[in-house]
Amino acid sequence: MARAALFDVDGTLTDTNHLHVVAWWEAFRQAGHTVAMRDIHHAIGLGSADLVAHCLGEDRDRAGDEEISAAHSALYGTYFNRLAALDGARDLLHALHERGLRIVLATSAGGFELAALRRAIDADDVIAGVASADDVSSGKPAPDPVQHALDIAECAAEDALFVGDSVWDMRAATKAGVRAFALLSGGIPRADLEAAGATAVYADPADLLKHLDSEVLAGRE
């Protein structure tokens, strides 16, 4: 039966979470809102609309939501040529591919942003597809993005694993019935990730790669 490894991108394969935090902070500031960076950080991983709602509340004036999201996109776009992959990201994807797993990215990024992220990762030769949040009705923490990634990989939930760095990643994967592995490279505390359903927690892609055969893939042949 087909097997697959599904990956979040920001904070999981690329060192971009804090760039998003700064861009969102400035976008909120320009719109007249003061939002603590800590609160923004914990919301990273949600789609743009959900992140704005999470940070400003459901009773906000929603007329400015699109302007805030557009400002974030413009601010974050200034970093596209400087995005960096996390240590071991490319090697991890290649190692999984060599072991017969199909690689699918599950991300809310698209267009020029996705292209910049893929350039940073430099592993297009082993990436089978991308499940975008734009292709589903609900983003993380709903299971829809993970289920869409499973469809692309042509793989059942029990024959896949998911790697992410946020609470929203862990909740989405768990709801979809996929084993979720968490990385600390996004800056979220271990306890929060474990409480959200992480099977195991590793420092970064390089650390997960070290434990790939002994822990992550053990017993899956």
* Domains along the sequence of the chain with CATH: 4-15+83-216 (3.40.50.1000), 17-78 (1.10.150)
Checking if the pLDDT of 1 tops 50, the result is: no
CA distances to 20, 65, 208 from 214, rounded to whole Å, are 34, 46, 10
Mean pLDDT of 196-212: 98
Are 137 and 128 a contacting pair, CB within 8 Å?
no
State the number of CA atoms in the 13 A half-sphere of 206 facing the CB. Answer: 6
Mean pLDDT of 22-29: 98
Mean pLDDT of 74-91: 98
Are 68 and 28 a contacting pair, CB within 8 Å?
yes
Nearest to 68 by CA among 80, 76, 59: 76
Mean pLDDT of 155-184: 97
Confidence tier at 219 by pLDDT (50, 70, 90):
low
Q: CB under 8 Å to 34, separation ≥6 — which residues?
A: 28
pLDDT per position as a tens digit, 93-138: 999 999 999 999 999 888 999 999 999 999 999 999 999 877 888 8
Note the pLDDT of residue 218.
87
Question: How much is the pTM?
Answer: 0.95
